[in-house]
Amino acid sequence: SSQVFFFVFICNHLVLYCRSMAGIPGAEEQPSCLRVLSVWWTTVPVVLVSGIFAWTYYTYVAVYLPRLPSIPLAVMLGLLYHAIVFLWGASYFQSVRTRPGPIPREFHLSEEEAHQIYFEGGDMSSIPRLRELPVQSLSATGHLRVCSVCRILKPDRAHHCSTCERCVLKMDHHCPWVGNCVGFHNYKYFLLFMFYTVVMCFYVGATILPIVVQGWAHGHDLSQSMELNILLVVAAAFGVSTAMLGAYHVSLVHRDRTTLESMKAVHFVDGTSGHWRRPQSGQAWKRLLGSNRLYWFLPVHTWQGDGVRYERDAAPLTTVTVNSDSIPETSQETHALLSSDS
């Protein structure tokens, strides 16, 4: 319908605006036509999500609510539905527009430092020591983690996203459905987006189920309630699948892991491998959601920490000291090592 088309059109342009606000490194160097195509292509999943939501919203408000026998009941269900929609939309908007984790300036390398490292095989061990950077992790090859694309010394738990073309603090993964990486600064928004997706889907499914079942029992023409039947299937499918994904991320938060860290161990400066210290019960959620529980379910900034300082298992936070003999001697070896851990 025209209402759905208009809603998708507005959502699409809103997404493009959000992505321009968030900033895509390297986009300004691209030709204008390639930049436009790149932005449009990466926002296709976001537009798809917006389109599905637009259809479900129209079906619930314009098709289901008018069929209810009681106006007060329709008003009550409509108000609750719009409250959930508002929180869902705000969480999704924040997930899309928020930069997941820009790297602090003190981790950036100067042109001289980058040239020495990339082309002269220079010694990197003095950089974290002189700047007092809290770096504890190394690459799988036992060297400091440096990104040759972003020209930075990677903080602990930071990784480079080849899709976004930037390094992200405490990167969890790149999510095409939000058109953004999920990292330190938007992980709470991403969790709330999944939570309210599940709540909205189950709410919609539970409220329309009686009418759908009544139509089946009385043998009504399916064409008269086809939209509600499809809406029930869509709500159940998205609700169950998102709930399963959300349960996995809840387990990650409880163990203070990211999706990337759940796949492989972290290599530390003392030559051991392991994971970051698992916080005490409830502390992980306080770090992510804040100490005030009134704001836990609101898409606002409440998380704690700076995204660069962490504690490892059975080891205090220390400044890295890397021996010079662990630094590659040739520029080719250096470049290979820099590219090996993204």
Q: Which element (helix H / strand E) includes 252?
A: helix 226-255
Burial 96-111 (b: 16+ CB within 10 A, else e): bbbbbbbbeeebebee
User: Measured between alpha carbons, how far is 272 from 88 in angstroms, rounded to an integer?
Assistant: 42
Beta carbons of 181 and 86 less than 8 angstroms apart: no
Categorise residue 158: left if φ over 0, alpha if ψ from -120 to 50, beta otherwise: beta
Length of the chain: 342
Q: Which two tokens stand for residue 151?
A: 């020209």
| Integer Cα distance of 296 and 192 in angstroms | 9
CA–CA separation, 12 vs 89, rounded Å? 14
Question: If you compute the radius of gyration of the chain from its CA atoms, what whole number of angstroms results?
Answer: 24
Catalytic residues: 175
CA distance 336 to 314: 32
Pairing of strands 146-147, 152-153: antiparallel
Name residue 160's beta-bridge partners: 167
Angle at CA 76, nearest 5°, toward 75 and 78?
65
Structure tokens at 121: 């095989």
Q: Which of 7, 190, 171 is nearest to 96 (CA)?
A: 190
Distance CA(185)–CA(193), nearest Å, equals: 14
